[in-house]
Amino acid sequence: MSVGEALRNSSNHSNTTEGVTTNTTKSDIKTSHNVAVSTEIKDEIAHSTKTDTALEQRLKCDYLVVGAGTTGMSFVDTILTENSKATIILVDKNNNPGGHWTKAYDFVQLHQPSCTYGVNSLPLGKNRFGRERWDLDDRASKSEILNYYQTVLEKFQATGRVRSFFGATYEYNECRNVHTIRFGTRGSTGDADKDSMNTMNTKRTAITVEITCRKVVTSGASIITPSMREPLIPVHETIASNFVPVNEVTSRIASGRYKKYIIFGNGKTSIDAITHMLGDNDIDPSQITWITSREAWFLVTEPFRVVHKSMRTIANRVLSSKSVKETFLGLEKDGLMARIDDSLDTFPEVFRRASVNRKQLEQVRFIKNIVRLGKATSIGPHTIHLERGSLDFSVPDTLLVDCMVDNSYGYASFDNSFQTFEPNRINLGPLFGFLNISLSAAIVAFLECSFGDTTRNGETEETILRKQNDCCWLLTGDCACSPESLVGMLYMEAKYTEALMKTVPGAIKFLMQSRLNMNAPMHHKHGTLKLLWNMIGPPQLYKFPQKLIQKVESGGYTDIDHCFGAETHHHAVNESVATKTSSSMLVANEEHNTARINKINNFHNTGKSYETLVLSCN
Ligand SMILES: Cc1cc2nc3c(=O)[nH]c(=O)nc-3n(C[C@H](O)[C@H](O)[C@H](O)COP(=O)(O)OP(=O)(O)OC[C@H]3O[C@@H](n4cnc5c(N)ncnc54)[C@H](O)[C@@H]3O)c2cc1C
């Protein structure tokens, strides 16, 4: 259906969407929080005097960006800055920008300082002496983040090059190669997914319109927080109302109905819930039982107050250790890494890059009722069934709190075949390097603007895509949730920075001037001097990337037998060679090493220096 048809149908109050005949009214199309656009769209439908061509022009853009979360917003922002002409349509199922933050619990805060989160062109952190300084205590709350993204959206709209549609669902029809957005009626739940389902069920879906775009940009992170889903395990109907997502903790405590609380989950969300209960709500530690299926590592925030120093410590540990295990135990001694119970013999196999401060650690260590019987499998009327046992609880005075977040905040959604740049499509989502999702999306946009135009240099689209993907070193696959991801992130950081600097003019300037880059001089006292001191002064940090690359690629960790997926997807050069490289990583004899060097040289194909290759033999 063309735009014109869709809009005409909508004004006839009847419309066929994907084979479903639907009744529609003009008021069904809502883009709450974006009054200007809402009115505009309704006007377009109402004013049937406009020609189809004019309407179609209005739904044509260079980039159709799906998702107004952190990655989509950061991508749009950099495109607008780096490309003075590009037009963008931004679409989101939710009613507001901010992605998963719109569904977060009220007491959530950024894990990192605000100064490096969000978009490049607008500060989120507090302004001190005209600068957004690195400040661990300045971490935006949920409402601050949501207000920020609303302001960013308004800034986008003021350019006249961005049109945004909220409460609208993007769909791609592969057979017809057609991009559509569907405007659904908003139900009472305020939840886009549930509302879409409701509208489908009641056959009140509004209209579907086609979007013509040069490229579609999507984020594949698929972040699902407890409030966005049904319980992950079967819950007996009699206690269903006692099993609540973390978002409900505050109001349930205020009801005064509960004497005991059982927390499900071993990540940052459960730590936030527990510290909120103990610190802000005067719950006694003895009232809390904590079900942790697996032990996890946490980054301790305080040492990161002096970020260069803590990065130096990490670099030293990563280079001097023979294994990931040794690295983590060393960092634990250094005070940069922690586990909830350090008296346990087992080495935690989970690292989701969540951070805690020392006060939070102290607080959660007051909890003595910790249940380590594996994952919960179901909840009966009085009993929680776990993989290795069960736990009884009293009804109705026990609140069961769902803090289970899978998948390392979506970062493990991507397998090793993931490519950022594809024909007519850009895929956002995974991290470039060390803890910097906002910067990652900005870099993708920067690459798009640096290489994007295939006609400019007479290069084929294939060549451009290869050049772009060659700069994208991303942490993908299962390792995203395990301790080895620490090495992986640093390895990817070294690789992407090297690739950008070698091949993209202006990349150093872009990185050094990006507020999303935690190393950018603007965030630090004596910024440039400090950076230079750390890089070329006694700490010699400029050597770290090459040394790490060499170590990872020469099988320098006894417990890592791969190159974080780089060997199988990167450069799409010689998959069979690369796969062999990965599987034989741990074999260390001279003949093998020589062969490996040749293979690595082949698949990287980026002019790696002779010196580096020789070093990787040792
Ligand atoms: C509690 C919590 C705290 C975190 N803290 C930090 C932190 O301090 N620092 C950090 O770096 N990271 C943090 N993360 C992770 C980080 O915030 C996320 O990785 C990042 O926000 C992901 O952004 P995104 O845009 O990819 O995804 P999302 O935020 O999930 O946004 C995706 C958007 O796309 C929309 N969408 C999807 N499909 C469609 C469709 N078909 N049609 C229309 N719209 C669609 C969704 O509605 C959604 O709004 C945290 C995560 C959580 C859960």
pLDDT in tens, 179-193: 999 886 544 344 444
pLDDT for residue 49 is more than 80: no
Q: What's the pLDDT band for 388 if we cut at 50, 70, 90?
A: very high
Residue with the larger pLDDT of the pair 46 and 2: 46
Query: Is 72's C-beta closer than 6 angstroms to any atom of ligand 1?
Result: yes
Which atom, in ligand 1's list, is nearest to the CA of 100? 29
Query: Is 518's C-beta closer than 6 angstroms to any atom of ligand 1?
Result: no
Using CA positions, which residue lies closest to atom 22 of ligand 1? 70
CATH hierarchy code of domain 226-295+340-405: 3.50.50.60
Residue with the larger pLDDT of the pair 332 and 474: 332
| Residue 521 to residue 475: CA distance in whole angstroms | 26
Q: What's the pLDDT band for 572 if we cut at 50, 70, 90?
A: very low
Query: Is 112's C-beta closer than 6 angstroms to any atom of ligand 1?
Result: yes
At 569 the three-state DSSP class reads helix
**Domain range list for the chain:** 3-219, 226-295+340-405, 410-615
Residue type, 300: V
Tokens of 522: 């603007």
Q: What's the pLDDT band for 414 if we cut at 50, 70, 90?
A: confident
Residue 43: per-residue pLDDT: 56
Residue with the larger pLDDT of the pair 456 and 160: 160
Residue with the larger pLDDT of the pair 363 and 435: 363
- CA of residue 244 to ligand 1 center, whole Å: 22
Q: What's the pLDDT band for 55 if we cut at 50, 70, 90?
A: low
pLDDT for residue 132 is more than 90: yes
Range in 9-13, 287-291, 447-451 with the lowest mean pLDDT? 9-13
Query: Is 100's C-beta closer than 6 angstroms to any atom of ligand 1?
Result: yes
Average pLDDT over residues 23-52: 42
Residue 52: C-alpha distances to residues 8, 49, 57, 75, 405 (Å): 9, 9, 8, 30, 46
The percentage of residues in the chain with a pLDDT greater than 90, rounded to a whole number, is 58
Range in 103-117, 167-181, 186-200, 535-549 with the lowest mean pLDDT? 186-200
Residue with the larger pLDDT of the pair 352 and 413: 352
Residue 44: per-residue pLDDT: 57
Residue with the larger pLDDT of the pair 324 and 409: 324
Residue 12: per-residue pLDDT: 27
Using CA positions, which residue lies closest to atom 53 of ligand 1? 409
> Vertex 284, ends 282 and 286: CA angle to 5°?
165
Query: Is 180's C-beta closer than 6 angstroms to any atom of ligand 1?
Result: no
Query: Is 108's C-beta closer than 6 angstroms to any atom of ligand 1?
Result: yes
pLDDT for residue 555 is more than 60: yes
587 phi, psi to nearest 5 deg: -80, 130
Residue type, 322: K
Confirm if 82 and 446 have CB atoms less than 8 A apart. yes
Residue 576: per-residue pLDDT: 32
Residue 368: per-residue pLDDT: 94
Range in 51-55, 260-264, 445-449, 555-559 with the lowest mean pLDDT? 51-55
- CA of residue 99 to ligand 1 center, whole Å: 5
Mean pLDDT of the chain: 80
Query: Is 91's C-beta closer than 6 angstroms to any atom of ligand 1?
Result: yes
Average pLDDT over residues 340-345: 87
Which atom, in ligand 1's list, is nearest to the CA of 169? 42
Residue with the larger pLDDT of the pair 549 and 606: 549
Using CA positions, which residue lies closest to atom 20 of ligand 1? 70
pLDDT for residue 275 is more than 70: yes
Residue 7: per-residue pLDDT: 38
Which atom, in ligand 1's list, is nearest to the CA of 168? 43
Q: What's the pLDDT band for 453 if we cut at 50, 70, 90?
A: low
| Residue 173 to residue 217: CA distance in whole angstroms | 15
Residue 569: per-residue pLDDT: 60
Confirm if 470 and 570 have CB atoms less than 8 A apart. yes
pLDDT tens figures, 81-110: 999 999 999 999 999 999 999 999 999 999
Query: Is 66's C-beta closer than 6 angstroms to any atom of ligand 1?
Result: yes
Residue 41: per-residue pLDDT: 56
Which atom, in ligand 1's list, is nearest to the CA of 225? 53
Range in 83-97, 196-210, 327-341, 387-401 with the lowest mean pLDDT? 196-210
> Vertex 187, ends 183 and 191: CA angle to 5°?
85
pTM reported for the whole predicted model: 0.84
| Residue 407 to residue 209: CA distance in whole angstroms | 33
- CA of residue 595 to ligand 1 center, whole Å: 42
**Which residues are CB-contacts of 570 (< 8 A; sequence separation ≥ 6)?**
469, 470, 473, 578, 603, 604
CATH hierarchy code of domain 3-219: 3.50.50
Residue with the larger pLDDT of the pair 113 and 564: 113
Residue with the larger pLDDT of the pair 321 and 417: 321
Substitution candidate for ligand 1 out of 119, 219, 435 with most atoms within 8 A of CB:
219
Q: 3-219 with 226-295+340-405: one CATH topology?
A: yes
Residue 417: per-residue pLDDT: 81
Average pLDDT over residues 289-317: 93
Q: List, in sequence order, every beta strand (DSSP E) within 357-497.
A: 369-371, 376-379, 383-386, 389-392, 398-402, 421-422, 425-428
Residue 321: per-residue pLDDT: 97
Residue with the larger pLDDT of the pair 11 and 317: 317
Residue with the larger pLDDT of the pair 421 and 8: 421
Q: What's the pLDDT band for 31 if we cut at 50, 70, 90?
A: very low
pLDDT for residue 587 is more than 70: no
> Considering only CA atoms, which of 356, 34, 277, 282 is closest in space to residue 168?
34
Range in 15-29, 322-336, 398-412, 474-488 with the lowest mean pLDDT? 15-29
Looking at the DSSP bridge assignments, the partners of residue 122 are: 119
Average pLDDT over residues 598-615: 33
- CA of residue 512 to ligand 1 center, whole Å: 25
Residue 57: per-residue pLDDT: 56
Residue 220: per-residue pLDDT: 82
